[in-house]
Amino acid sequence: MTKPLKNLEEIAVIGGGLAGLSAARQAARLGRLVTLFEGSGLYGGLVATIGEVDDLPFPGTWSGQDLAMHLYEQARKVGVRVVEWPVERITNGDRIELIDGSGTGYKPEAVIIATGGSLRKLGAPGEEEFAGRGVSHCATCDGGFYAGKHVVVIGGGDGAVHEALTLAKALSASGGKVTMVCRSPLSARREHIDKLDARDNVRFVWDSEVTAITGEGKVQAIATRDVKTGAASIIACDGVFPFIGIEPVNHFAPAALLGASGHVAAGADLLTADKRIFVAGAARSGFGGTGIEAMAEGVSAAEAAHRLLSGKL
């Protein structure tokens, strides 16, 4: 049974990643009552697993986790209320109604969706079986377990290249090595590709996909297939780090707001088909993909929501 609806916020921000934390902080600084919903407890989202965040517009070296906690603390200081439940659904009739995972209902006047994305699954046999036993999605967290060993990174985008760099650095002193399995040429930023190319403990397997992860009790090998020739190969390894893309986390959003890709449809103004609902970061179709963009979109969405509630949008 749904609990009575509350109206303790003017703006509900869904998601505690960089975009959501930035949006919540900015909206509160503008004088709005703000509630931030984060059900996973992992503030910062996927960036929390990154050892060093690049290209930040302020001095110092920041890990993803440190950056997330800094934004979280700043949001709390300006009065953001935090609910550590996921949002189960939004209905957007005459009034917006939001239901969280505890069954509690809310009636915000505006919503900012900033739920980011989750790593796309390989869908290969062994992926689930060996989760935590050789299959990992966090080089910063788990790289230290592979000293002197051989790990495989799957993918060719920014996330995969960043993980491969982190692993290559962590394993170099112990003689460990990294193999990247890529279906196509690398699509990461040029500066990261150049850094990876300079590492002498990294090699590449091109035009290939992983068809299975195998082992007895732990990862011992992967099976690959050449996408051009169909040739099959086995690569012995001790760990596998899949980074083949991100899927938006928007299951709670009204279907009418979603595009064909599953992202919330919105342009550069961050406004959805419902003028009371905004979207920022990786949940949005057309998002650029960097942490700076996520934070900037969060701030912009907060300012747009403030203008809406002020009758200026």
- Do the domain assignments include residue 160? yes
Task: Measure the CA–CA gap between 310 and 313, rounded to whole angstroms.
Answer: 8
Q: 113 and 254, same structural domain?
A: yes
pTM (predicted TM-score): 0.84
- Do the domain assignments include residue 133? no
Number of domains within the chain = 2
The 10s digit of each residue's pLDDT in 29-62 is 999 999 999 988 778 776 766 766 666 666 667 7
The token pair that represents 31 in the structure block: 């004088």
Q: 281 and 235, same structural domain?
A: no
**Domain range for residue 185?**
139-242
- Do the domain assignments include residue 283? yes
Task: Measure the CA–CA gap between 27 and 13, rounded to whole angstroms.
Answer: 9
- Out of 221, 242, 263, a domain closes at 242
Q: Please, which pLDDT band fits residue 191 given cuts at 50, 70 and 90?
A: confident
| pLDDT of 184 over the 60 cut | yes
Q: 114 and 143, same structural domain?
A: no
User: In sequence order, what are the residues at sequence separation of 6 or more whose Cβ sits closer than 8 angstroms to the Cβ of residue 241?
Assistant: 135, 136, 137, 139, 151, 152, 153, 154, 160, 163, 164, 167
Q: 294 and 279, same structural domain?
A: yes
The token pair that represents 87 in the structure block: 């949002």
Q: 105 and 11, same structural domain?
A: yes
Q: 185 and 291, same structural domain?
A: no
- Do the domain assignments include residue 206? yes
- Residue 133 contacts residue 32 (beta carbons within 8 Å): no
- Out of 242, 264, 291, a domain closes at 242
- Do the domain assignments include residue 132? no
Share of the chain above pLDDT 70, in %: 93
Q: 278 and 216, same structural domain?
A: no
- Do the domain assignments include residue 124? no
Average pLDDT over residues 21-32: 96
- Do the domain assignments include residue 128? no
| pLDDT of 202 over the 90 cut | yes
Q: 227 and 162, same structural domain?
A: yes
Q: 81 and 10, same structural domain?
A: yes
Q: 76 and 26, same structural domain?
A: yes
Q: 187 and 40, same structural domain?
A: no
Helix (H) or strand (E) holding 299: helix 291-309
Provide the b/e sequence for 250-272 (b: ≥16 CB within 10 Å). bebbbeebbeeeebbbbeeebbb
- For residue 185, give the CATH number of its domain: 3.50.50.60
- Do the domain assignments include residue 169? yes
DSSP 3-state assignment of 154?
A: strand
Query: Could you tell me the strand order of the sheet in which 11-14 lies?
Result: 81-83, 34-37, 11-14, 110-113, 277-279
What's residue 247's pLDDT? Answer: 87
The 10s digit of each residue's pLDDT in 110-153 is 999 999 888 889 999 999 999 999 999 888 888 889 999 999 99
Q: 250 and 111, same structural domain?
A: yes
Comparing 13-22, 53-62, 267-276, the range with the smallest average pLDDT is 53-62
- Out of 194, 215, 242, a domain closes at 242
